[in-house]
Chain A
C-alpha cells in the first residue's frame, strides 16, 4: 500500500494556491525529490504534504487515511520534518536538541526513558554526529546543524521524512554527505523521504525519483535520468544561464564571447579545461575535430563553441577537415591541447600542419611527441601567451 498519497492537491496560503498536484504516490523506502527553481512552490507543497499547512483543495492521505483526520500525536510519530530554518536555542546541547524529537513519545514532563536515550544516540550515530553530543547547538557550523536537525527528525522514529532544501548553504562535502545519508535511510531503514532541491545536478546524481515543479505546476515526474533533458531543464530554469548536459549532469555557463576566434584542436578529454579557461576570458571558440562521444564535445557545446564533429568512434576524415577549414582560416590563434596521437586523430594533425603552413600563431600544450607550434608549459602559460599575442596586435 502507498504510505502517502496526494490527490488533486492544491497547496498555498490563505486563498492563494501556490502549487497544484494531480496525483502523487509514495511507497515505503522511496526517495522523492521536488525539483524546481526558487519560488516554484516546493516549500509550500512540502509543508502541505507534512500537514503543517492545510490543503486548499484535494487531500493528503497518510496510509490511506486523510491527514487532517490523523491525530497530531500519530502524525508526529509517522512524519518528521527538517525545515530551512535552522534556529534552535544556542544553549541547547546537541543531545538535548535531538531529544526534542522524542516529544511525541515521552510523558507529561518529557522525561527520557532508557529507550528514548538509546534512540537519541542511535539517531546521532546514523548522521555521524555522536562526537558532537555535548557541544552547544549555537557553536556548530551550518553543516553540523543540519545533521543535528536530521537526527532530531530521526529521533521521532518516523516512517516518512520531509526535508525542505536540506543542502542549501552547505559546502560540497556536506551536500554529498547529506544526500548519501538520505539514500541510506531509505534503503536501510525503509524511511520514505520527500525533499526539495533547486540544484539540478544534485537531483540527477543523488535522487531516484523527481517531481519537476515550475511556477505552481508539476511539469513531470519520473526517473531523473529520463526527465532531466537539456530542454526540460531549460524549461524549468529558463534558458538564460547555460546548457544542462544530462550526461555529465553539469551546467556549463554560457558566457559572453566577443574576443578573437581561437581554434582549439581537442580530443580525448584534453580540451575540456582549455575550452573552459578560454571561454571565461571571452574568446570566441571553434573546436574540432571531435568524435560525438568525446567529453570535450559536451563542454564545448555547453560554453557555446563552434563544433566540428565526426560520428562516435569514427576517424577524423576528409569531409570533417573541409568543414573545419573555414574556421581555421578565420582563427587568429590555434591551440593544440595534446589530444592522443592515435590513427583516428590523424586528421587533426593535418589541421595543425595547415595552421602552421598558413602562418597562424600556434600554441601547444603537448610536452613531447608530435611537435607543433610554441610550447606552453601549462594552462597559465598558454593564457599568458595568448594575451601577449592579442595585446601586441
Chain B
C-alpha cells in the first residue's frame, strides 16, 4: 500500500459518517447533527426524534450504506474476473436474474399463502443471481471481445425481464403493484429485520472478498498467468461467481435492482487512488460504495419530497454521464 492511501481512507470514513448523519437528520422531521449523535449514543431514550431516527431512518440508511458497499464490491469482482472495465451486476443481467427469482417467489408465495421472510427473499435472489453469473462466466471464455460479453449479459437481462413480465401478466393485480414498485429499486422498504439479514450475510461476504484480494491481483494478467503463479483458478472462479452473485443478489432482494453503483464506484476508487491493487481497492470500494449509495438514497428521498424517486433514477442520472465521460476521456483503466 502506498503511503498516501491512508489519507484517502480517512477521508472516505469521514465521508461515510457524514452521509450517515445527514441521512438520519434530514427529512420531514429535522434532527440537527448534534442531536443525531446524541440519539446514536443513547438509542434507548423515548421521544419523537429518537423514534424517527432509530426506527425509520437508521435501518434505511444502514441498508443503503451496506447495499452500496455490496454492489460496489460485486462490480469490482466482476470487472477483474471478466477483465472488462464496463461490466457490473446490472449490466450483466445478474440483477435481473435476482429480480426474476424474487418475482417467482413473491408472486407465487403470496398466492400459496407462504410468509416471505427476509432470508427467504435473499436466498431466492442469490439463486437467481448465481444462475445468471454462472451462465455468463461459462460463456465468457468463448468470446475474447469486450463487447460480446456485454451483449450476452444484456440478453440475459432481457430474458429475465421477459420472464418477469410474463409472471406479472398472470399475477393478481393487487399483488402486482408492490412488486412493480420494487423493480424500480428503492431502499425505502428497509426495516431492522431486513438490515439484520443484509448485515449478517453481507459483512462476511465483504470480508471474504477482501481475502480474495491477492488472488484477484494474480488474475489481472489473465487465467494463464494466474495459473503459472500457483493460483487454483478453478476454485478462484467458483469463489468469484458465488461472492459476486451473493452480494448483488442480497441487495436486489431488499432494494430491487440498482444500476450504476457496481459499475461506477470501482472506477471512482481507481480514479481517486490511482491503483489497480485490489487489496486496496476493495476496502475503498466498500467505503465509497456506501457513501455514494447513501447519498443517492438521501437525494431520492428528499429531492422532490414528499414524492420519492426510485434510487436507480438518481444513480443513473449521476452514473451514466460519469461513465460516458470516463470512456470518452479514455480514463477507464484497470
Contacts and interface: CB of A to CB of B under 8 A. Distances in A.
A272 B241 CA distance: 63
Dominant secondary structure of chain B at its interface with chain A: loop
Interface of B: 83, 211, 213-214, 217-218, 220-222, 224-225, 227-232, 270, 274-277, 279, 333-334
B224 A81 contact: yes
Given A91-B275, A110-B213, A103 B221 contact: no
B228 A80 contact: yes
Contacts, number: 81
Contacts of A92: 220, 275-277
Given A88-B221, A90-B333, 18 more contacts: A50-B228, A77-B230, A83-B224, A89-B220, A89-B334, A90-B276, A91-B274, A91-B275, A92-B277, A100-B221, A100-B229, A101-B229, A104-B229, A109-B211, A109-B213, A109-B214, A110-B213, A110-B214
A87 interface: yes
A89 B333 contact: yes
A265 to B, nearest CB: 57
A324 interface: no
Contact of A156 (B213, B229, B270): B229
B333 to A, nearest CB: 4
A108 B211 contact: yes
A50 B227 CA distance: 10
Interface string A38-77: 0000000001001110000000000000000000110111
A85 interface: yes
B224 A52 contact: yes
Contact of A73 (B218, B230, B276, B277): B230
Contact of B214 (A87, A106, A156): A106
Nearest to B281: A91
Contact of B222 (A85, A90, A101, A109): A85
A160 to B, nearest CB: 11
Q: Which 6 A-B pairs have the closest CB atoms?
A: A76-B230, A89-B276, A110-B214, A103-B229, A91-B276, A104-B230
Chain A: number of interface residues, binned into ranges: 20 to 34
A81 B221 CA distance: 12
Q: Which one of B230, B270, B279 has the highest number of Cβ atoms from chain A below 10 Å of its Cβ?
A: B230
A79 B334 contact: no
Q: Which one of A47, A51, A85, A89 has the highest number of Cβ atoms from chain B below 10 Å of its Cβ?
A: A89
Contacts of B211: 108-109
A81 B230 CA distance: 12
Contacts of A47: 224
Contacts of A91: 270, 274-276, 333-334
A75 B232 CA distance: 12
A231 to B, nearest CB: 36
B231 A72 contact: yes
Contacts of A108: 211, 214
A104 to B, nearest CB: 4
Nearest to A91: B276
A76 B276 CA distance: 23
A109 B214 CA distance: 6
A83 B333 contact: no
Interface string A108-145: 11100000000000000000000000000010000000
